[in-house]
Amino acid sequence: MSSVERDGDESRSLKHINEKCVGCGICASICPTKSINNGPVLPIARGLVDMDYVNINKNSCCLCGLCAAACPFDALKFEIDGEDIKEMDEYPKWIKDAAIDSEACIYCKACETACPQDAIRVQRTLPKREDLVIGEIDVDQDKCISCKICEEICPGDAITVQKTGRNEYETVVDEDKCVYCLVCKRACPTDAIKAVCSSCAYQDYKFDAETFKTHGDTILNPDSCVNCGWCQEICPVDAAVVTKPFEGEISFDEEAECKGDSCHACQDVCPCNAIEIVDGKSVIDPKVCVLCGACANVCPQKCIQINRTKINLENVRSKSWNNILSSLTSGTGK
């Protein structure tokens, strides 16, 4: 973890959090004193070298905080007298966000599976199985001859014939496993199995939707979320809403010689799992791309161009910061 700290009228500190960093190079490209350098991004992403994505030159860093304000992954933390500038009124605020509407969520876990950053956890409680079957099986122990035919034939392994004493047996139905298929009733040679159908027995039997519902909680961890939009794309009930840090487009130069299977550098550095190698070429899904530019920087063939049109960073009060930040949206590919 790289950090710079200095005390003057104020105590200012800049900390780089490598776990959150993806090596996109945005901080390095906007640093007014050119104090930030990217490490070898691809070898780091592949785990070939043990280094940080970013090096900060402690001697030249002027502790202005611009890098921390502009990092779309919150990988740089800038504090003045112990207070994070993200909490301060004077400093810019990202309007990037990701949220899951708990009212709409059906706990299908699609987002949990798709999230490239493992930022979503779905905890769910299923309804009781016995509440979902439409009947009950009961055994008339007087008629039962303990032949175990029902135990052998039950497709759900719900019946056991238990020994209760010397030559005494009891046939027990596990209500949690029984699906009321009535196979046992038909197979029983002594008609000892009684079936009670809930919907026939009680005419006014109502399906209580609440009883059948899966309850749960979908928790999105903002610390690891990169606002890529996978959850929003995959959610079948539109419960996930994502606002990305940048607007614009990513384009692929079809003329350039992409070496997909040999190289796949873009795929390895993408924090969003937005890139796949299909038929030996890199294919980018813009719907789940955050336009960070990490892929464009590592591509040896320069196949990828990033064109940002808007940065969703509000309350940039400094004119010079605005000027520098405009370089991110000027379509220079950086």
Partner 1 sequence: MFICTYRISDNIIIKIRGEIMPVTIDTDKCGKIQNCPGEGLCIKICEKGALVEEDGDVALVPENCDDCDLCIQNCPNQAISKV
Cβ atoms within 10 Å, residue 57: 14
Q: Does 45 bind partner 1 (CB under 8 A)?
A: no
Q: Give the number of residues in contact with partner 1, rule: CB under 8 A.
A: 14
Q: For partner 1, which stretch binds (CB under 8 A), given 39-47, 78-86, 195-203, 238-246?
A: 39-47
* Cβ nearer to partner 1, comparing 167 with 262: 262
Binding flag, residue 333, partner 1 (CB under 8 A): no
Q: Is 304 in the site for partner 1 (CB under 8 A)?
A: no
Using alpha carbons, list the distances in angstroms from residue 175 to 135, 138, 180, 227: 10, 10, 9, 45
CA distance 224 to 287: 19
Which of 29-37, 46-54, 186-194, 310-318 is the region at the interface with partner 1 (rule: CB under 8 A)? 46-54
When asked if residue 46 is in the footprint of partner 1 (CB under 8 A), the reply is yes
Candidate residues 301, 305, 307, 318; the one interacting with partner 1 per rule CB under 8 A: 301
Q: Considering the complex, what minimum distance in angstroms separates the CB of residue 48 from partner 1?
A: 5
Backbone angles phi, psi at 158, to 5 degrees: -95, -10
Among the residue ranges 15-23, 140-148, 238-246, 261-269, the one whose residues contact partner 1 (CB under 8 A): 261-269
Identity of the residue, 48 or 196, whose beta carbon is nearer to partner 1 in the bound complex = 48
Burial class (CB in 10 A: 0-12, 13-18, 19+), 288: buried
270 binds partner 1 (CB under 8 A): no
49 belongs to the binding site for partner 1 (CB under 8 A):
yes
> Alpha-carbon distance 165 to 132, whole Å?
34
Rule CB under 8 A: is residue 265 a binding residue for partner 1? yes
Question: Per DSSP, what are the bridge partners of residue 123?
Answer: 217
CB of 293 to partner 1, least distance (A): 16
Query: In the chain, which ranges are E strands?
Result: 3-7, 11-16, 36-38, 54-56, 76-80, 83-84, 93-94, 97-100, 120-125, 135-139, 159-165, 168-173, 193-197, 215-220, 240-243, 246-252, 275-278, 281-284, 304-311, 313-314
Stretch that binds partner 1, among 35-43, 57-65, 66-74, 223-231 (CB under 8 A): 35-43
Q: Does 298 bind partner 1 (CB under 8 A)?
A: yes
Q: Which amino acid is at 83?
A: E
Residue 152 within binding range of partner 1, rule CB under 8 A: no
Q: Is 256 in the site for partner 1 (CB under 8 A)?
A: no
97 closest CA partner among 273, 275, 232, 216 = 232
DSSP assigned state of 95: -
Contact stretch for partner 1 (CB under 8 A) within 71-79, 167-175, 185-193, 298-306:
298-306
Pick the binder of partner 1 from 257, 309, 310, 322 (CB under 8 A): 257
| Both structure tokens of 71 | 């990092």
Among candidate residues 49, 216, 27, 211, the one with its CA nearest the CA of residue 130: 211
Contacting residues toward partner 1, per CB under 8 A: 40, 42-43, 46, 48-49, 257, 259, 262-263, 265, 298, 300-301
